Amino acid sequence: MQVTVTINGEERSAEVEPRTLLVHFIRDDLDLTGTHWGCDTSNCGACVVLVDGEPVKSCTMLAATAAGHEISTVEGMADGAELDPVQQGFIECHGLQCGFCTPGMMLAARALLNRNPDPSEVEIREAIAGQICRCTGYSNIIRAVRWAAAHEATTTTQGA
């Protein structure tokens, strides 16, 4: 079947089997390999993307179900050379090591900041609770999200 989605603002189509998972569609058919996968049971969150702005485990959704929706992946976070503050925060605060969980973590963080620009430590912990990082022990991910929140707050004030 033909599946068409808007991904990172661009309309993309591919011919896939009806059973194709969204994560495989994104990686294998659209060649956007920044979205990872790490489990068979929807536990790890390495595959998190935003569907219409909400974090979704893309291994838990069929490509067909995503047809016609807006998808954001890690490849769409930066604006050219300009990184999203969440991306910058992960670099500044050593929020990543192997980088495998990182795209999913950053997208969950992006969605959190979009609805709550000033999240507390506990709110950040809850927002990423469905995702596993095997490397960082989470503290620096939380600091990274706080860094992004603080940075966005300053840029907004400066811009106003």
Partner 1 sequence: MSTVEPPPTIGYGPMKRKEDPRFVRGQGRYVDDLKLPGMLHGAALRSPVAHARIVSIDTTAAAAHPKVKAVITGADLEGLGLAWMPTMSADTQAVLATDKVRFQGQEVAFVVAEDRYSARDALELIEVEYEELPAVVNARTALDAGVPVIRDDQEGRSDNRIFDWEAGDAAEADRVFDAADVIVERDMIYPRCHPAPLETCGAVAQMDPVMGQLTLWTTTQAPHAHRTVYALVAGLPEHKIRIIAGDIGGGFGNKVPVYPGYVCAIVGSILTGKPVKWVEDRAENLMSTGFARDYVMRGQICAKDGKITGLRVHVIADHGAFNATAQPTKYPAGFFHIFSGSYDLEAAHCHVTGVYTNKAPGGVAYRCSFRVTEAAYLVERMVDALALELKTDPAELRLKNFIRPEQFPYPSKTGWVYDSGDYEKAMRLAMEIAGYDELRAEQAEKRARGELMGIGISFFTETVGAGPRKDMDILGLAMNDGADLRVHPTGKAVLGISAMSQGQGHETTYAQIVSEELGLPSADIEVVNGDTDRTPYGLGTYGSRGTPVSGAATALVARKVRERARLIAAGMLEAAPDDLEWERGRWFVKGDPEQSKTIQEIAMAAHGAGDLPEGVEGMLEDTCVYNPPNLTFPFGAYICVVDIDPGTAKVQVRRFIAVDDCGVRINPMIVDGQIHGGLAEGIGIALMELIAFDEQGNCLGGSFMDYLIPTSIEVPAWELGATVTPSPHHPIGAKGVGESPTVGSPPAIVNAIIDALHETHGVDRIDMPCTPSRVWEAMQGNATPPQ
Q: Strand locations in the chain, DSSP E?
A: 2-7, 10-15, 48-51, 54-57, 70-72
Q: Which of 3, 7, 71, 73 binds partner 1 (CB under 8 A)?
A: 73
Q: Which is nearer to ligand FES, 8 or 60 (CB)?
A: 60
Tokens of 138: 């989470």
Is 92 one of the binding residues for partner 1 (CB under 8 A)?
yes
Is 3 one of the binding residues for partner 1 (CB under 8 A)?
no
Residues 6+ apart with CB under 8 A from 82: none
Helix axes 102-115, 139-159, angle to 10 degrees: 40
Is 47 one of the binding residues for partner 1 (CB under 8 A)?
no
Is 101 one of the binding residues for ligand FES (CB under 6 A)?
yes
Minimum distance from residue 41 beta carbon to partner 1 (Å): 5
Minimum distance from residue 138 beta carbon to ligand FES (Å): 9
Q: Which does 111 bind (CB under 5 to 8 A by kind): ligand FES, partner 1, none?
A: none
Write the interaction track for ligand FES spanning residues 6-45; mark x where CB under 6 A is met and - where it is not: -------------------------------xxx--xxxx
